[in-house]
Structure 1
Amino acid sequence: MSEHTGRHAAQRRGRHAAASEQVRFGVPFNGVVPLWHAGAEITWHRPVDGTDLSEVLGLGLVESEPGPSEAPPGWGEVVEVGTLIEAESGPVLRLRSSSPAGRRAVNDPADGVPIPLSRPLSIEEAMSGQFDITGFSVHIARLMLRAARDSAILLFTLRAPRDPDPHHLLSVPAEADAEGIMHFHLGTLLDMTTESWRGAARADRMTLLDLDVSYMSLLVGRPEDQEGLDVDRLVEMAQPVVDCILKPGFPFALGYSVVLPDAVAPAPR
């Protein structure tokens, strides 16, 4: 290979490397997924192929890595990640499954599944139309179910403009007992006065609320038929969490992660 050819090949490789980056995810809303870039930038996109990322993200299906937040001894924060590629046709989000047995939507352990995205949206474009509070609440409820299943701590954060460090909004340690009762222990520094937080306690400047929910109470249908989850009951279960994380008024800047025991959390790559 000549020096000229080698130099241009290196330049092409450099451009290719610069055209992709690893991103984290904010909480999806209204069909929009917030992408958290390195530094303080957030961009908002809609999948243009009809993919509903609220059915994929946050459920333990997507590749993850250790997060930056401090965790109790023996525990580690886990954040889901993807690769944003700036293709000629527009941005593409590549998701990889957390395991070869993952959901088909991200079930490619090699290159992952490409999801074409819209161009970056402004906040006004992302928030246009009526806020889908039901869809948002159902997604939050599914995050809670995942946390109870994995005996994890669910964390919600808020990322302020030009601030690279997310700010803690709510922590939800969760577990399920042998009888199928899920226990959620909500804690926030916000002063919560909504009806869903009635009965909450105050301690060490925090507002604390315990929820006990039977998994069976969320099911609709008969055992001999195909059972599903009742939307109204999911919304009701998630109401205290939704009231808390929406209180600051910035649904477009919400983030999430889970804290798992070290034996379960992924090792640094």
Structure 2
Amino acid sequence: MESMDIFKQIQPDDSLNDIDYVKTFSSFNKPVAVKGVKGEILYMNELAKNLSKLSDQEIFALYDEKLPEDIAQVNGLGLVSIEKIIRLKTTDGEMEEKFFHIESKTLLNKFGLFYGTMFIFYDFTSLVKYVLNIKNNSENKVYDDITGLFLKNQFKEMLSMEVERVTRYGFPLTLAVFFFENLVFFGQSFGKDKLNQLLKFFGIFFKQKFRKTDTIFRIDFNSFICILPHTNYESANNKFKKLQKELDEVIKFQSSIKPILIFGISEFDLKKHYKNYELLIEEARINQQNNKFYK
């Protein structure tokens, strides 16, 4: 997916006519449009023209654009931001809804005066339909019944979504793996009901401590993974050390059966980990083993 370095191709100038929009944007494989000071359309590449031609509505998002509740919920997950639903005519003449993230860039001339806005349209229809399908399909469970955390069948898809955002925007992304040492001994000592109560507490605890953009998965009985966007290794490591200390203070049992948070961190590297998520996970698990050894 393209980075937003395309913005750097626009050089400030005091004359709109001096900008060669065709040369700059014609080869860009996303719809691109530029509006002037009064909202007039100064330029559309062929993809944007086709988008407008096939639609029976305005393709630009309004300032107070109203979105359906289900799309607002998709946006609330933090995986993507949909600003506009555009109805497009298909080859058989039917109208089909497409879901777009629209990025905008304010254009200034060399005097720092506003002369227009550039819009780039990203089609996230497949992603939105995937999320809505999971949400609406009662046979496809999304959350763990005990902890309330995401199930492992959501992990790879959500990680892929976050990685695509990283490749586009360049922000840091960190993966954390963790488990609770002595959890089995706790269950053997207190029974299934008490164990489930503790796991439920863990789910509530993590939901309260993490941001909405962070995503936590219960992979199996005592294995968890957390995706932390906009977070580097140091920040994630400090975060989990703090959580480890807080849990240690809250959970009061004898040391032989006291569940202890053991975690490992790995920061995503585009060159090393892109399309190689297993390596990212493996590095986090190695870090986890080191933390367990030196705890």
Q: How high is the TM-score relative to the length of structure 1? A: 0.30
Q: Which has the higher strand share?
A: 1
Q: Which has the higher helix share?
A: 2
Higher RCO structure (Cα 8 Å, ≥6 apart)? 1
- Larger-gyration structure (1/2): 2
Q: How high is the TM-score relative to the length of structure 2? A: 0.28
